[in-house]
Amino acid sequence: MTHTLEYSANVSPPKAKHLLSRICKDCLPTRTRLRNHFVQCQEECPLCSQVPEEEWHLLVECEGSREAWSVMGLEQILTPRLQSCNNIQELIFDICCRESKEVAGKMALLMWVLWQNRNNFVWHETRISARQAGLQAMSMWEDWIQVNGQVVTTNKAGQQQHVAHVNEQQQPPRYSYLKCNVDASFLGTTNATGSGWCFRDNQGRFLLAGSNVILGRLNTIEGEAVAMKEAISEAIQRGFTHVIFESDSQILIDAISSRQQGYSTFSPLISNIRSLLSLVPNFELFD
C-alpha cells in the first residue's frame, strides 16, 4: 500500500497523501473507530445522523458525497467500483493501481476536502454542500497543478508521464487567427466574482476587451467558465470567425473538450459553451 500512496503523491498535496495513509492504516478517527477504542462519543455520522460514521459512508455515500465525486469528474471512476470494492481501502488501492496518476491525485484531494468538511462541522459547526466540496477540491487541484508547474499526460503506449507546464499565452496565434484570453477574479471579501476577456491579433496587438461582475462568490472554475462563455458570445456577435480561446484552467478546457455528459449543476454551463463553439467551426480552445 505504501507504493500505492507514493503513486498519487507526486500529483496531490502532501496533506492529501497523509490522509490516504491514515485511512489505509486504519487510524482515521471516525466515530465508529473511536467507539471501538472505548471513546465515549456518538456513533452516528455527524453530517446526516442516520448511520454509524465510518470511512466508506463518509467519503462515498453520505449527504450526497457522490455529487462531489461527479463535480470532480470522478463519477465514472467510482460507480463501477461500488459493488466490487468491499471497503474504502480496496477502493483507494484499486484506483491508484488501475487509473492514471492524475485520477489518483484528484481522488486523494477530494477525500481530504470531504474529511475537512466533516471536521469543520464537528468542531466549528460550519459545512459546505457536497457540490461545493467538489468544486473546492477541483479548484485546489487546479491551483496545485499550476503551482507545481506540471501536468500528467498519457502517451500513445498508454504510459503515464509528467511533462512541464509551458505557459504559451504570450505566443501569437496562427496567421489570420485572433487570440482571446479569459480569466476570473475575486473581489476581496465581497460576495462577487469578476470575469474578463481580451482579444489580440496574430501580432499580439490589442483589439478589444471586456469585463463583468457577477453577484455571488463563484468557484474559480465556474468563474473561468463564465468568462469563457462571455468571450465566445462576444466573438460571435462581432462576426469573428477564426479565434483561439485561452484559459489557464486545465480542468475547464478538459471539461469543454470531453464528450462525456456531466450531471452536476456545473454541467449546463459547459453544455452552453459547447453549443456556442459549435456555431463557428474555426473557434478553438487552448490552455
Query: Residue holding cell 452516528?
Result: 44
| Whether 120 and 60 share a structural domain | yes
Asked whether residue 170 is domain-assigned, the answer is no
| Whether 132 and 273 share a structural domain | no
| Whether 71 and 195 share a structural domain | no
Closest alpha carbon to 243 in 188, 197, 275? 197
| Whether 75 and 209 share a structural domain | no
| Whether 48 and 17 share a structural domain | yes
| Whether 28 and 101 share a structural domain | yes
- The distance of Cα 114 from the centroid of its chain, to the nearest Å, equals 13
Query: What's the confidence (pLDDT) of residue 176?
Result: 85
| Whether 151 and 220 share a structural domain | no
Query: What's the confidence (pLDDT) of residue 7?
Result: 45
| Whether 81 and 136 share a structural domain | yes
Query: What's the confidence (pLDDT) of residue 13?
Result: 81
Residue range(s) defining the domain that contains residue 282 = 178-286
Q: Which three cell numbers stand for residue 41?
A: 462519543
For helices 130-148 and 220-237, what crossing angle results, to 10°? 80
| Whether 157 and 187 share a structural domain | no
Asked whether residue 172 is domain-assigned, the answer is no
Query: What's the confidence (pLDDT) of residue 208?
Result: 86
User: How far apart are the C-alpha atoms of 272 and 274, rounded to whole Å?
Assistant: 5
Closest alpha carbon to 17 in 29, 30, 3, 31? 3
Query: What's the confidence (pLDDT) of residue 148?
Result: 63
The last residue of a domain, from among 164, 187, 217: 164
Query: What's the confidence (pLDDT) of residue 88?
Result: 94
- Number of domains into which the chain is organized: 2
Residue 266 contacts by C-beta under 8 Å, 6 or more apart in sequence? Answer: 71, 135, 221, 222, 225, 255
Which parts of the chain sit beneath pLDDT 50? 1-4, 6-9, 149-170, 263
